[in-house]
Structure 1
């Protein structure tokens, strides 16, 4: 019998259609059924992942256990919601999407002009004051907000005033910041931020222009929101005495990256690195023969700090062959080769209609995985002759 082929499936979510776990299960099922009866001796392990967005604390809890602690905070529209953070000894893991995520809103409620990060500040306070956390890791993907982290800072005790001296909650109106009522215990806490983007706060690649539309901002609002963010950044940086808006990642989660770094001294780290460290992913990849990854759309962002970028880096480091599965692939052969991706299998190759492919994502992903299984025989044969 041929030597066992160890296959590891490490997927992100297929946004709008499949969770990371559902996507991994589809690929495993398709590969298993497609290779059945063809003399391929393999073991397939799935490892659903996240990169700082939805599913982050689930991945960490699976590997490190810990206790989920629920607390009542505000959702993006300041309605009450019960949201969990994960506590492992004196380290707390917060998933911003649980309190400020698009997943908490109906599509007709998307409006980054109204949504707030206040609930994130409440989560941080709960972890510090309720659980005595000394280290806090925050995954900031999947947010519904674009307030520069102002809501979060208000929950932590910062106060913002307009030119008349009245307290304001709007980034475009602030002229003065007062930090005298900030929670003193913040000084004793170390913050790490897991983020999958490296955008600055302002400009064409900034929080508003790049991510505002997917959070519900119409074309007519973008310039106004950008001007408001510019005012917010100017006043904040005058208060802080240092410029943070140009730092890679400052634009993450609608500017929450900016606030966490500038006001709380947080360290910004690619989400995949954080998850890899706390889930023992690199060792699992090292012990596997074929690595499979995937997400809904593979594009330039995928190989610039997101999960797939991290998987390619670890796979290259350990000389592992890498395949990718997706809804649609927007990279050319040169980009795929440079990233170390040997093969790509896309749902769009068999169903080009986006709405149909998303509605039938499970069926189509299983199908392309089934068809890709024919390459496993060649993979195993080449491995035996190496």
Structure 2
């Protein structure tokens, strides 16, 4: 039997590459004669750089910056020929805050992502990809833009503090320094790779749908949505075009909106882009079974995210899709969603590790 091992990362615990190796060990133990290929995947969120590097190589560059709540962190970006690829989750991600019990939905920001992006632009790439997803903040990308030189001012003409809770006080912005930086870099194309198709605002927007998983209560969700509304009004007036209703604008707490409106970036599907680069469809065509993984398998997994898109490809080519998520919602008929077999790897409050993933892969092969 021919297996394609194609997992996403378990945020904050196991990388997609670690999951690949653990799943492969489980398969070999259960079915020693099997052929196994590995293709770690991502959708613009956690693990995108690692999946891209595994597929086509490149050189990592490291930047000393801050995380979403201002703590020192070492982040990275990927340089491939004339292309720079930046991943939000490396600098401003949710995973480390969850691990450390430090969620702060109101004060979290994307300033670190902006510093990493600046570092990438200073190498004068021809193409820039900003991969958003797995964010801890709902700041509309204002923190990132501030790090790139933007000024967001309140009614007294004073700088507005970082964090989503302060966006409602934004009355004007100045993007001249951002434009100078972009022009000086010589970059000819900027794309923002998104992992969801939500608009920026409203019941299906960034704050309402994803704010709660970042620690926002109901009153916080309204505050954050109001702040994003004000930010959008100011930025769209400054730039002279609208973007807030575009599918994907709500990705990463609205960071996709900020990158698109202020940098003129085109929004693209992170999964579609990465799967094309790594020739994923061809790999699926030449296997019998695909085994994937994700930290938490829930209804959001099927909305533009990697596992949902992978399920569509498996259905297209008539391939079985098996999954070993750390956790999964039990009230969803996963078979109807395209997941033929599923075993979780975390139980009774114990975090999943490589041994539990290997055991789950073994058991799937024996079912």
Aligned to 1:381: none
Per-residue CA shift, 1:36-78, capped at 9, x if unaligned?
5xxxx31122322222122211111122221111223332233
Of the structure 1 ranges 51-60 and 16-25, higher mean CA displacement relative to structure 2 is found in 16-25
Shift in Å at residue 90 of structure 1?
1.4
Per-residue CA shift, 1:165-188, capped at 9, x if unaligned?
222233111111222333424244
Shift in Å at residue 133 of structure 1?
0.9
Aligned to 1:76: 68
Aligned to 1:302: 301
- Give the one of 81, 84, 90 matched to 1:92: 84
Aligned to 2:240: 241
Flag the 1:27–1:72 CA change in 2: closer, same or farther, 3 A.
Answer: closer
- Structure 1 runs of 4+ off > 6 angstroms? none
SS of alignment partner, residue 204 of structure 1: coil
Aligned to 2:110: 117
Per-residue CA shift, 1:273-322, capped at 9, x if unaligned?
12212223222222222222232333332222111122223333434333
Aligned to 1:379: none
Distance, in Å, in 1 between the alignment partners of 2:321 and 2:358 is 18
- Structure 2: gaps spanning 5 or more residues: none
2:178 counterpart of 1:182:
yes
Residues 180-219 of structure 1 mapped to structure 2, 5 A cutoff: 180-187=176-183, 188-189=186-187, 190-219=189-218
Per-residue CA shift, 1:202-221, capped at 9, x if unaligned?
12222112222222323442
Aligned to 1:344: 341
Of the structure 1 ranges 254-263 and 364-373, higher mean CA displacement relative to structure 2 is found in 364-373
- Structure 1: gaps spanning 5 or more residues: 376-386
Distance, in Å, in 2 between the alignment partners of 1:309 and 1:366 is 23
Flag the 1:215–1:99 CA change in 2: closer, same or farther, 3 A.
Answer: same
Of the structure 1 ranges 167-176 and 293-302, higher mean CA displacement relative to structure 2 is found in 293-302
Distance, in Å, in 1 between the alignment partners of 2:71 and 2:355 is 37
Residues 1-386 of structure 1 mapped to structure 2, 5 A cutoff: 5-15=1-11, 17-35=13-31, 41-105=33-97, 107-129=100-122, 131-169=123-161, 170-187=166-183, 188-189=186-187, 190-326=189-325, 327-330=327-330, 332-333=332-333, 336-337=335-336, 339-341=337-339, 343-347=340-344, 353=348, 355-356=349-350, 359-360=351-352, 362-374=354-366
Per-residue CA shift, 1:78-117, capped at 9, x if unaligned?
3443322111121001111111112444634321322221
Check the 8 A contact 2:39/2:55 in 1, yes or no. Answer: no
Check the 8 A contact 2:131/2:270 in 1, yes or no. Answer: yes
SS of alignment partner, residue 373 of structure 1: helix
Of the structure 1 ranges 249-258 and 187-196, higher mean CA displacement relative to structure 2 is found in 187-196
SS of alignment partner, residue 142 of structure 1: coil
Q: RMSD over aligned Cα, in angstroms?
A: 2.5
TM-score, reference length from structure 2: 0.88
Figure out how many residues of one structure are paired with residues of the other and give that number. Answer: 358
Flag the 1:297–1:69 CA change in 2: closer, same or farther, 3 A.
Answer: closer
Larger radius of gyration: 1
Flag the 1:264–1:221 CA change in 2: closer, same or farther, 3 A.
Answer: same
SS of alignment partner, residue 295 of structure 1: coil
Flag the 1:259–1:71 CA change in 2: closer, same or farther, 3 A.
Answer: same
Of the structure 1 ranges 238-247 and 133-142, higher mean CA displacement relative to structure 2 is found in 238-247
Check the 8 A contact 2:11/2:46 in 1, yes or no. Answer: no
Distance, in Å, in 1 between the alignment partners of 2:242 and 2:113 is 23
Check the 8 A contact 1:85/1:95 in 2, yes or no. Answer: yes
Flag the 1:191–1:293 CA change in 2: closer, same or farther, 3 A.
Answer: same
